[in-house]
Amino acid sequence: MILEMKVPSPGESIKEVEIATWLVKDGDYVEKDQAIAEVDSDKATLELPAEASGIITLKAEEGDAVAVGAVVCLIDTDAAKPSGSAPVAEAKPVTEAQKAEVKAEAPKAAPAPTSYAANTPSPAARKILDEKNIQPTDIVGTGKDGRITKDDAVNAVPSMGTPTGGNRGSNRTKLSMLRRKVAERLVAAKNETAMLTTFNEVNMTPINIIRNEYKDAFKAKHGGLGLGYMSFFTKAVTRALQLYPDVNSMIDGTDKISYDFCDISVAVSGPKGLMVPVVRSAENLTFRGVEAEIKRLAIRARDGQITVDDMTGGTFTISNGGVFGSMLSTPIINPPQSGILGMHNIIERPIAVNGKVEIHPMMYVALSYDHRIIDGRESVGFLVAVKEALENPLELLMNGDAKKALEL
């Protein structure tokens, strides 16, 4: 029986996907549930499993955009599974007649004489080359006897400086559907929102004191789970969102939608680029709960197992550019959300403390927000609330009891 495999629907709003990579070759024998292809949608990269065992026939090429429900391959379920090794064909003995048979060598063509017209531009071509500041000797003419035509001049590309040795080249590859969608959303965020960014700095000493004191016990108690910075930032953000609910709102046409829950999108890097999975109802999670969920999502992103559901929704985003060494940046809003918090690297700097100069680990934080829905008072107040919680986590995030908050 020939089974037609169709593209399953990755989500309600997705109408087509793109074949990113075939993991098998045409004519291969595949097992049921074996991953046969990676497909890109505008939200995620997903694996396509074989629906049955058999010989596969591919019906789409890598890079093809195919509609949801379209046939992408056929599986012959009646085909027998090939044995471990195919028999090697016996080599036929070469006869004396075959040895004596010698192919006549084709005569080599004499080199064409160089014409005086070679690399000589026509009047129209010369004008174009002069405007581009390109020498006729830098291009090859396609006209009669090597003459440079107007089309040659129009298509000529100026040299990018004088080569200094070594291999020089370029490579053009098609952007994946996911990457194209990310690009569209980033441009839309800049063009369709009134985005502003406000900055502040955080003294990380109080968090470091808590982490240094309890991280080993936290890891031992919770099955190897690390006590990182993300749990502190997530808890500080959910507290600030409850204090400034406009930051936890979105614009939908002429309406404002406000949420009484905090679904925090966390930007993580995966093999297919930046992914933004969502930590659901983060305001109800403990430090352990936040760390466990972020670890789970990061592993799924790294292994290419992130689904559309994992990235759907989200009312606010946290992006940590500090893991890549970024000191300061202006993060771009993740539409349709209205705000995003940017974390950065931690650098020891001298600061004034009670009239004295001390060296402390400092981090710059940035809040980009949509000024159409969030006023300056709310945006600055939100970022200050985040700063206050991070600089006094024991009182504002742990209710004065670190052991209880960390479930130790």
pLDDT of res. 91: 42
On whether the CB atoms of residues 331 and 266 are closer than 8 A, the answer is no
Query: Residue 290: is it exposed, middle or buried by C-beta count within 10 angstroms (0-12/13-18/19+)?
Result: buried
Give the DSSP letter of residue 139.
S
Pick the CATH number of 178-405 from 3.30.559.10, 3.90.1260.10, 3.40.50.300, 3.40.1190.20: 3.30.559.10
- Check residues 63 and 400 and name the one with the higher pLDDT: 400
pLDDT per residue as tens digits for the range 343-354: 999 999 999 999
Note the pLDDT tens digit of each residue in 212-268. 999 999 999 999 999 999 999 999 999 999 999 999 999 998 999 999 999 999 987
- Domain coordinates in residue numbering, the chain: 2-76, 178-405
Catalytic residue among 33, 145, 309, 375: 375
Let me know if domain 2-76 sits in CATH 2.40.50.100. Answer: yes
Within a 13 Å sphere around the CA of 370, how many CA atoms are in the beta-carbon half?
25
Question: Is 371 a residue of the active site?
Answer: yes
Model confidence at 76: pLDDT above 70: yes
Catalytic one of 145, 151, 216, 371: 371
Q: CB of 159 within 8 A of CB of 133? A: no
pLDDT at position 216 is: 94
Q: Which of 57-66, 165-174, 182-191, 386-395 has the highest mean pLDDT?
A: 386-395
Judge if pTM exceeds 0.85: no
* Closest of 137, 172, 138 to residue 158, by C-alpha: 138
Domains 2-76 and 178-405 share a fold: no
Tell me if residue 308 falls in helix, strand or coil. helix
* CB within 8 Å of 64: residues ≥ 6 apart: 18, 19
Distance of alpha carbon 105 from alpha carbon 311, whole angstroms:
65
Degrees (nearest 5) of the Cα angle 134, 135, 138?
95
Assess contact for 310 and 226: CB atoms under 8 A.
no
252: β partners: 255
